[in-house]
Amino acid sequence: MDMQYRRLGRTGLNVSVLSLGSGGPNRLGQSLYVPRKQIRRLVHRALELGINFFDTSSAYEHSETVLGNALKGVPRNGYYLASKVFPLQGDKFLGAADIRRMVERSLQRLRVNELDILHLHRITPEIYESARDHMLPVLEKMRSDGKFRYIGITESSSRDPMHRMVKCALQDNLFDTVMVAYDLVRTSAEVEIFPLARANDVGVIGMSTARHQVPRSMTARLKLLSGFLAGLVTSPPTRGQLKVRLRKILLILEHSGPKPLPPITRAGRGGPLQLPESAYTFAASQPAIATVLTGTTDVIHLERNVAAALAPALTAEEIELLHRFLP
């Protein structure tokens, strides 16, 4: 099935219904020490599948560099590129010079002269107004200088599950795109966020669609663990980084993952119903969302997620069934 494209609100960009992100737990293979050649193959396979939107951030360790290297040689008019800037350093807002320096560094790492979208990253309701008033004048000047084409904003799904910040941003109508968490369980954006976005023609990017899935098979878990252990040797972590990695190891060891689904075939509607792929079917079938982010380091995984995003929408009965097997 051919890739589908949707208009990303008033940006006018026609983006693939599934897009490739570089955040989440693996951050384009950095957490698992995946070879850069494998990431390059992944990115080029994404392009072959019709994916034309790539999302990254200066906060995702070296993701911008990894993605920029993977896209080296690809014509710039063949894809759209979004990155992000977090407005705080400690408890203080970045100064204008610091903001410019961060954006310039992102451009350098990504090997481009211009981004399609720059997002304010992980903005909570508590800092929204201050971030808006402090950052937008600087960003508008940088936009006029040709550093990026559109300005967006992303929420913190863990700290703002009811999308209070995004609601304020949509009411202000100062941002061209919003990035919102939406999945089989978290559907609250349907109530106010999606109608507001449609009314103001703001592009919606779906995130965190299937982020918390951990492989159930012991073989897959051992591969993850071997990557962590290799990293401890090749790149000794700081004390703080070691704590983060140990927590990830415990998650891999303890998490049982979603309950296995029975072999349910979607009669006349594609392949078997399964998690986490069905999460992409669900999110991509939401017409208010222009594109759904996926994060992976595996080409086969990516191909399955693309197929899921292009599959017919889940029925109410299928959604009810999936809810019984969610972790």
Domain end call among 233, 254, 275: 254
Are 115 and 235 found together in one domain?
no
Asked if residue 181 is part of any domain, the answer here is: yes
Domain that holds residue 234: 218-254
Q: What is the DSSP letter of 262?
A: P
Three-state secondary-structure class, residue 303 = helix
User: What phi, psi does 185 have (nearest 5°)?
Assistant: -100, -45
pLDDT of residue 316: 87
pLDDT of residue 327: 59
pLDDT per residue over 158-216, tens digit each?
A: 889 899 999 999 999 999 999 999 998 889 999 999 999 999 999 999 998 885 444 44
Asked if residue 281 is part of any domain, the answer here is: no
Report the Cα 273 to chain-centroid distance in Å: 23
Are 108 and 246 found together in one domain?
no
Are 63 and 200 found together in one domain?
yes
User: What phi, psi does 285 have (nearest 5°)?
Assistant: -80, -5
Are 24 and 164 found together in one domain?
yes
pLDDT of residue 251: 53
Name residue 119's beta-bridge partners.
84, 152
pLDDT beneath 70: ranges in the chain: 211-237, 239-271, 327
Asked if residue 274 is part of any domain, the answer here is: no
Are 49 and 195 found together in one domain?
yes
pTM over 0.75, yes/no? yes
Are 179 and 231 found together in one domain?
no
Are 230 and 164 found together in one domain?
no
pLDDT of residue 212: 47
- DSSP E strand boundaries for the chain: 5-7, 14-16, 18-21, 53-55, 80-85, 88-89, 92-93, 115-123, 148-155, 177-181, 203-207, 264-265, 272-273, 291-294
Asked if residue 209 is part of any domain, the answer here is: yes
Helices 193-200 and 164-172 meet at what angle, rounded to 10? 20
CA-based nearest residue to 326, from 271, 270, 266, 256: 256
Asked if residue 201 is part of any domain, the answer here is: yes
Are 204 and 223 found together in one domain?
no
Are 149 and 227 found together in one domain?
no
Are 222 and 310 found together in one domain?
no
Are 31 and 84 found together in one domain?
yes
Q: CB count, 10 Å around CB of 272? A: 12
- Catalytic residue numbers, as ranges: 60
Asked if residue 277 is part of any domain, the answer here is: no
Are 124 and 247 found together in one domain?
no
Q: How many domains does the chain have?
A: 2
Asked if residue 168 is part of any domain, the answer here is: yes
Q: Is 73 left (phi over 0), alpha (psi -120 to 50) or beta?
A: left
Asked if residue 25 is part of any domain, the answer here is: yes
Q: The domain that contains 179 carries what CATH number? A: 3.20.20.100
Contact 271, 308 (CB under 8 A): no
pLDDT per residue over 40-74, tens digit each?
A: 999 999 999 999 999 999 999 899 999 999 999 99
pLDDT of residue 64: 97
